Chains A and B, each alone.
Chain A
Amino acid sequence: MKLKIERRLVESRQRTIYITILSALSLIAIVFLAYGVNPILAYEKVFYGAFGSWYSLSETITKSIPLMLCSIGLTLAFQTAVWNIGAEGQLLMGAIFGSGVALSFPQWPAYLLLPTMFLAGFVGGALWSFVPTVLKTKFQTNEVITTLMMNYIATKILEYLLCGPWRGKETWGFPYTEIFSSSAQLPTIGTTRIHYPTLVTAFLMSVALYILLTRTKLGFEIHVVGKNPEAARYVGINYTKIILLVMMISGGLAGIAGIGEVAGIHHRLRIGISPGYGFTSIIVAWLSGLHLSSTMSISILYGGLLVGGEMIQISLGLPIGVVEMFNGISLFSMLIGEFFSRNKISFEISSKGG
């Protein structure tokens, strides 16, 4: 028996998706079985936990908002072949900048304070992606490393602020700031936690970026830089300018996601505002095949996985690690899906001569 791998001439996106889903479900099933849990039952619980009631659906959407904002920004960066692994840190810096505004001007009316916070969040995130991009263009540093490292710096700055100058007076020693004034809190839909101004921003930004990439001169330049930087140089497109711009948009959107969390959910700055949204978004961006048209729906799917995963932790008594494995397994499954879509595999009985 001999394994034969041959490159297919035509890749099928559909085949990728089917194989990805199938292999993810079967790999996770192994984990469930190892815990003595019936995988079918577990999947059912995850699904109902995520989409089974109005409440769970609203939670799913709430959790998908930061994923949307981060992953549309990452999609743009990845399209330009800049590997931004720093959405998590950019999200935190956005939250820090926005919280700074909220804590400094609590008396401002909401119509002034909230937009200023969004702006500050964008600036915070953009600044955090600007630094590694400048290092990349000036000194050819690898942005995968620098953006990743910037995450840790952001986490440490957050910890310093919360344990030091920004710690609230009535937080019983917890590393929290004071609760924001009511004008710094985002409105939600009814009794749900869906902070709709952020959701609308995410939707508008994804439409705007879609138009940017498909209809504009700048979008054309982004495609050329992303797909062949040498050709960009040859026709005189300014590489540095394009990737700085793209990375600042990418970081800025992650920063706005941070505002959504502090102003929409927690109403204060605290440790643990993001359970790794910035990292999960990398998977969301890849799974949507770097198409902005699929990013929103994949974000909701992953929001659902987070909510449904919490559900089975409680109802099936599974450790949180199992849920966290979803992310890794789904990315791995996508690689499997892409491999099978790109290559034709066959077995043959070989009688090798010579």
Chain B
Amino acid sequence: MSTIKMKGITKKFPPATVALDNVNFSVKKGEIHCLLGENGAGKTTLMNVLYGLIKADSGDIFVEGKLVKIDSPKDAIELGIGMAYQHFSLVPTNSVAENIALGHPSASFLFPLKMVKKTIKTLSERYGLSVDPDSKIWQLSAGEQQRVEILKVLSKNPRLLILDEPTTILTPQEIKNLFQALKQMAAEGRTIIFITHKLDEVMAIGDRVSVLRKGKLVKTFETVKTNKQELARLMVGREVLFRLERPSVQLGKVILEVSDVCALNDRGVPTLRNVSFSVRENEILGMAGVAGNGQTELIEVLTGLRKATRGSVIILGKDVTNQSPKNIAEIGVAHIPEKRIDIGIVGDLSVADNLILRGYGKAPFSKGIFLEKGNIEKHANKLAKEFNIVTPSINTPAKLLSGGNIQRLILARELHGEPKLIIASHPTYGLDVAATEQIRRWLQKQREQGVAVLLISEDLDEIFSISDRVTVMFEGTIMGTVDADKAKLEDVGMMIAGAKTGELCIEVKNRT
């Protein structure tokens, strides 16, 4: 019997977008149901309808056979539906416990934190989602914030749990833990809807899977009766290339040399501890590791956003330790930031303006104190075409673009100045298959043209698909560096969990 049934759901966004087109979708009690599709396929929209955030133009929702009206998340929560968002719904200046207490139905009027802290402790121990209840959200990495988001929903003890791409920035170990917890919950009779665009996850956890493409529900399967290739084909409508060919190129001179760098985090705690590594011309160095192990601080030190307390950063033979972000960018360092919407763009400014965020102060975009509007427009039109940025016009506010197009915009801007070093942090996080592939190809192309690339990501598939060497960061130190062609995924997974390379006996050879 179906716990939840959505019938004939249609939602249009004027003027011309049909987000959901007559979708029939149902889940059974106690199953883990994966909702598979690319970005923009309508997965999140469908779940937002179920969670009461968006009103469908037409269609009905049935819970245990009864027609219900879900007009707000409050209605949904009353029906036992909980949802963890992909883009976190947390208050940055408040602590973890405060965020979870916020709007919690059983939090007491006085001293709500006491009870909530206990819940956090129980839940994080049970599901292995450890997080300090007293930390402020803004101090947490994206990965840790994701954990809080999931804990927040779990704390309400829902009958139906909707998870919107929850694993994007979790480690393999954390994913395993989460999956175990989810299976346990399903066994207890709870239903789980798992939104994802990762085929491995569908196969690993799904009892059933529904594929959405361009607002239409293509098909629902039992996972044992299908395979990855079939799902991938239905999802994107074509065969996908998973691994990129890596033409071998001669490694050139050292571009980035980091020696013995130490730095504090926002809380003033020593976070980077004697970090040393280097990246050379024609090389992509992949840096794996769980978010919150010092990667954010390292990137900030490298790009001038955070002071190093000791050690040195040498780029192109020049000591740039603790220089300003502007100086570092000007010697040819491109930075593709992790929080692309928060930091990488100015959402209210136009696409054209966002494309000159780095170069506005120089010719041809300005002359004296004035901006050269004509050149800025020409530049924007050229880059939009070159980088396939899909936008109604170059004057559209950047915030209205989809995630993939925002990332294309950032790449277009950062790669435009012919950088010598690219620091890319989670460059494909949350993007669909097409955008992911394109962005990886661009990075690859840069490498072939002699650029040094430092790729920081928690997605091991991403690291291995384009890196030459893989290094792992754990608790602020480099655990080891391995040759991407020779290393095994499992070995890197071990380092991510804190085991030294020596114990794994991996030999690192310099390729020439």
Please give the distance in Å from B6's CB to the nearest CB on chain A. Answer: 14
Which of these binds chain B: A85-93, A185-193, A229-237, A297-305?
Answer: A229-237
Contact of A352 among B69, B353, B357 (CB under 8 A): B69
CA distance A227 to B398 in the complex (A): 12
Contact assessment for A227 and B79 in the assembled complex, using a CB-CB cutoff below 8 Å: no
B66 touches A236 (CB 8 A): no
Per-position contact with A for B348-386: 1 when CB-CB < 8 Å, else 0? 110001001110110000100111010000000000000
Give the size of the chain B interface in residues (CB under 8 angstroms).
Answer: 39
Which residues of chain A have C-beta atoms less than 8 A from B55's C-beta?
4, 6
* A354 adjacent to B370 (CB under 8 Å): no
Which of A224, A236, A351, A353 is close to B326, meaning CB atoms less than 8 Å apart? A236
- Encode contact with B along A202-218: 1 for CB under 8 Å, 0 otherwise: 00000000000001111
In the complex, chain B residues whose CB is within 8 Å of the CB of A216 = 369-371
A-B contact count (CB 8 A): 84
With beta carbons under 8 angstroms apart, the residue of B63, B68, B349 that contacts A224 is B349
Within 8 A of A (CB), among B244-279: none
Which of B14, B337, B361 gathers most chain A CB within 10 Å? B361
Smallest CB gap from A8: residue in B: B14
Q: Is the CB of A354 within 8 A of B63?
A: yes
Contacting residues, chain B, for A236 (C-beta < 8 A): 304, 324-327, 329
Chain B residues closer than 8 Å to A233, beta-carbon distance: 305, 325, 343
Are B326 and A223 closer than 8 Å at their CB atoms? no
Q: Please indicate the chain A residues that have their CB under 8 angstroms from the CB of B13 in the complex.
A: 9
Alpha-carbon distance between A228 and B366 when the two chains are bound, in angstroms: 21
Q: Within the complex, which residue of A218, A227, A350, A354 is in contact with B349, where a contact is CB–CB below 8 Å? A: A227
A219 to B349, CA, bound (A): 12
Choose from B344, B349, B370 the contact partner of A234 (Cβ within 8 Å): B344
Contact of B68 among A230, A234, A354 (CB under 8 A): A354
Is B498 in contact with chain A by the CB < 8 A criterion? no
Q: Complex formed: what's the CA distance from A4 to B71 in Å?
A: 8
A340 CA / B443 CA spacing, docked (Å):
46
Contact with A along B328-356 (1 / 0, CB 8 A): 01000001010000111111110001001
Contact with A along B58-83 (1 / 0, CB 8 A): 00000100111101000000010000
> Is A2 an interface position by the 8 A CB rule?
yes
B343–A220 contact, CB under 8 A? no
Q: Closest CB of chain B to A15's CB: distance in Å?
A: 16
* A353 & B305 in contact (Cβ 8 Å cutoff): no
Contact of A234 with B67 in the complex, beta carbons under 8 Å: no
Which of B68, B324, B329, B357 is the most central at the interface, judged by chain A CB atoms within 10 Å of its CB?
A: B357
A215–B327 Cα gap in the complex (Å)? 25
Which of A6, A224, A350 is the most central at the interface, judged by chain B CB atoms within 10 Å of its CB? A224
A122 to B325, CA, bound (A): 34
Query: B304 contacts which chain A residues (CB < 8 A)?
Result: 236
Complex interface bits, A230-256 against B, C-beta within 8 A gives 1, otherwise 0: 110111100000000000000000000
A215 touches B344 (CB 8 A): no
A227 to B360, CA, bound (A): 16
Distance (whole angstroms) from the CB of B93 to the closest CB of chain A: 12
Residue contact B79 to A235, C-beta cutoff 8 Å: no
Residues in chain B near residue A221, CB distance under 8 A = 360
Residues of B within 8 A of A215 (CB): 370-371, 373
Inter-chain CA distance A219–B376, complex, in Å, is 15
Q: Complex Cα distance A235/B327, Å?
A: 10
| Bound-state Cα–Cα, A234 to B341, Å | 12
- Which residues of chain A (1-27) have a CB below 8 Å from chain B? 2, 4, 6, 9
Give the shortest distance, in Å, between B397 (CB) and chain A (any CB): 10
Nearest residue, chain A, Cβ from B13 = A9
Q: Which residues of B contact A (CB under 8 A)?
A: 13-14, 55, 63, 66-69, 71, 79, 303-305, 324-327, 329, 335, 337, 342-349, 353, 356-358, 360-361, 366, 369-371, 373
**Further contacts, 8 of them, CB under 8 A, given A224-B346, A231-B357:** A215-B371, A216-B371, A217-B361, A227-B347, A228-B347, A234-B337, A235-B326, A236-B304
* Subset of 19 A-B contacts with CB under 8 Å: A4-B55, A216-B369, A217-B361, A217-B371, A223-B346, A223-B349, A224-B346, A224-B349, A227-B346, A230-B342, A231-B346, A234-B325, A234-B337, A235-B357, A236-B325, A351-B69, A352-B69, A353-B68, A353-B69
